[in-house]
Copies of this chain bind each other. A is one copy, B any other.
């Protein structure tokens, strides 16, 4: 770069204004470290453009000066995809100032939002119009819609509503060359050529910066019923799911499973959460039914299925939540999983998805193999069993993780076990978290070279200079990287 950094800062300030170019290390701190604290990078500047035109101008400027761009949403990602590397020429772009809900249409069941909107704000705007935006996840109070789209976020409502990809109708994206892809259309159907918008959903900011979106809204759930089941196995959970599908059709809203070890990790470390049931079996299943009409009795059909399941020896016990407070207390356990694990040790977490029928074999095999290889690990599991997505987490005593090289080798060993078992069951190593930096090497190891070849081709097509979020998903900046 022939310019000095001062020239660059001035050039960026010319576009977005002095107040929105952050260059001091102290002010940059929240943006150059991922929220797990695993990755720390460097940036010439963190820039906060105020409009799509400004985003485009910043991108063109960076392209011209050969500066790498790192788009960042709420910085709540699990895989380091929004953290700059330690290179000297990174510009982090944040859309915090693009936070407007542009339109809510109850008739069309759509909401048009700028990418910097917080997920919880979008949920609230939908609710205010007596509509429902279903995406729901732990970080919803701080994650941004642009990041949710760029990571194809999942969460606890996927079973009924699908992941973020299924919720996006239209997209506006600033491409790596600064051109604006104008796909911000509120159309339910569109067969005019290739599905370009799909490229950007889940691309982790490597193909452009999502600046606005039209999202689907739904009729709000107005009746619900919730139960907690105590089970001996994942196979029992699957059989109960099958019975629920038969009995309540598409009213099945959530199906979340936790291992006993997972709940124990929470019980031991998260003081503000009380476990509102006794731990007497290896597995716990939260079942939630919902209906979009008010006044529908869902407790009765739920109770019938559960009572039949117990009679058939499929569950040890079932607790039907008799109040909203009781339901909230059960959900509070599920929502404390990340916190509990973080407090319980060094977290080696996974995001495998396998065909639904394979989940029982998957969890049995993967736990046995981890325990055989790393006897001091504590294996805990939680997941979205209706989606085939079980998070296998190995908790390692922090005392054993003081040496980075030893820790890295241990993590790699556990990852390899989980990845191999995932592949053996016909699954994928990332259901909802993405690839980012964390899983880049693992993706390369388990993916058909043809797929990687196509992905590289698409990256090359849209970003020939490799400046848009480089080295995320796969290496493209440094020839030697994984």
Contact = CB atoms under 8 A, between A and B. Distances in A.
Interface string A274-294: 000000000000000001110
Nearest to A242: B107
Contacts of A185: 355, 426-428
Interface residues of A, number: 89
A248 B293 contact: yes
A457 B238 CA distance: 44
A387 B188 contact: yes
Interface in A172-215: 175, 179-183, 185-196, 198-199, 201-203, 207
Interface string A424-457: 0011111111110000000100011011101101
Contacts of A246: 130, 219
A268 interface: no
A375 interface: no
A188 B443 CA distance: 18
A249 to B, nearest CB: 3
A51 interface: no
Contact of A189 (B110, B163, B291, B458): B163
A400 interface: no
Nearest to A181: B450
B353 A293 contact: no
A357 interface: yes
Contact of A195 (B108, B182, B202, B245): B202
Nearest to A388: B188
A218 B249 CA distance: 8
B106 A242 contact: yes
Contact of A203 (B194, B431, B473): B194
Interface of A: 105-110, 130, 151-152, 154, 158, 162-163, 165-166, 175, 179-183, 185-196, 198-199, 201-203, 207, 218-219, 222, 238, 241-242, 245-246, 248-251, 291-293, 351, 353-357, 384, 386-389, 426-435, 443, 447-448, 450-452, 454-455, 457-458, 461-462, 473-474
